[in-house]
């Protein structure tokens, strides 16, 4: 018996050491690629980490966050931001209609936050095209990605322009990121990004069914 334990201990130890050797912090770009987000959004994967915090909870390249914890707008920071440039912060769900995970087909997204003309990370002074709405994964639609992108603009966006759709009212779905980027003057790739996942909470499923909200 003792011998078996000793053997097992050696086994665990060596596998733990092997993992330690292999474990490399995943790069932001790799995480975006592996999740299929790069492909679905038709973007170049961001290389830099966008720091997004919901109170004490940090978004970490695909961690699961309970929807109740993301009701209030998070704080965001990006330490490589150019102080003279304007940026856009957006939060979108490329999985709004629950396509099969990692599907390579491109689907319309829904937009949860769209803040433009941000300077020095001052979100309060940004022009808000779609004010922050907490992610709401629908019942029975599985796991969703919530993707934060921080994108450098090549100039200030004229938010008084009549051509801009009213995202506050009815344009949150479908939201076409490719189209939005091409209509305004953006750098080719996002400056930074991050994402988390969320699902409709199990503990609300019953309430949902009883209330008839689940159909």
> Least Å distance between CB 88 and ligand NAG?
16
> Least Å distance between CB 44 and ligand NAG?
9
Inter-CA distances, 72 with 37, 54, 79, 150, 153, Å = 24, 7, 22, 19, 26
Q: Please tell me whether residue 208 adopts helix, strand or coil conformation.
A: helix
> Least Å distance between CB 14 and ligand NAG?
46
Burial of 125 (0-12, 13-18, 19+ CB in 10 A): exposed
C-beta of 141 vs 176, nearer to ligand NAG: 176
176 binds ligand NAG (CB under 6 A): yes
C-beta of 30 vs 189, nearer to ligand NAG: 189
> Least Å distance between CB 42 and ligand NAG?
4
Euclidean distance between CA atoms 122 and 199, whole angstroms = 30
103 binds ligand NAG (CB under 6 A): no
One DSSP character per residue, 39-85 reads HHHT-PPP-EEPEEEETTEEP-SSEE--GGGGSSPPEEE-TT--TTS
> Least Å distance between CB 36 and ligand NAG?
14
Tell me the torsion sign for CA atoms 195, 197, 200, 203: negative
> Least Å distance between CB 13 and ligand NAG?
48
178 binds ligand NAG (CB under 6 A): yes
Residues 19-38 that bind ligand NAG (CB under 6 A): none
Euclidean distance between CA atoms 132 and 115, whole angstroms = 9
185 binds ligand NAG (CB under 6 A): no
- Please pick, from the candidates 84, 166, 170, 179, the single residue that binds ligand NAG as defined by CB under 6 A: 179
Residue span binding ligand NAG (CB under 6 A) among the ranges 2-10, 75-83, 87-95, 172-180: 172-180
Contacts of 174 (CB under 8 A, 6+ apart): 96, 108, 109, 110
> By the criterion CB under 6 A, which residues form the site for ligand NAG?
42, 106-108, 176, 178-179
């Amino acid at each position: 018996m003792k011998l078996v334990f000793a053997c097992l201990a050696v086994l665990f130890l060596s596998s733990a050491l092997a993992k330690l050797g292999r474990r490399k912090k995943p790069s932001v770009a790799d995480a975006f690629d592996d999740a299929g987000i790069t492909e679905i959004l038709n973007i170049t994967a961001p290389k830099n980490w966008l720091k997004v915090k919901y109170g004490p909870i940090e978004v970490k390249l695909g961690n699961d966050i309970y929807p109740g914890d993301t009701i209030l707008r998070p704080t965001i920071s990006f330490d490589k931001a150019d102080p003279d440039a304007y940026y856009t912060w957006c939060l979108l769900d490329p999985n709004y209609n629950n396509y099969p995970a990692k599907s390579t087909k491109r689907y319309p997204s829904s937009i949860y936050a769209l803040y433009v003309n941000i300077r020095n990370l001052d979100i309060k002074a940004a022009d808000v095209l779609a004010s922050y709405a907490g992610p709401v994964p629908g019942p029975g639609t599985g796991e969703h990605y919530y993707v934060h992108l921080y994108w450098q603009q090549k100039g200030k966006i004229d938010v008084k322009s009549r051509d801009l759709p009213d995202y506050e009212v009815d344009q949150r779905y479908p939201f076409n990121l490719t189209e939005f980027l091409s209509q305004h003057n953006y750098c080719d790739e996002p400056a930074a990004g991050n994402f988390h996942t969320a699902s409709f909470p199990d503990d609300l499923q019953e309430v949902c069914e009883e209330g008839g909200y689940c159909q």
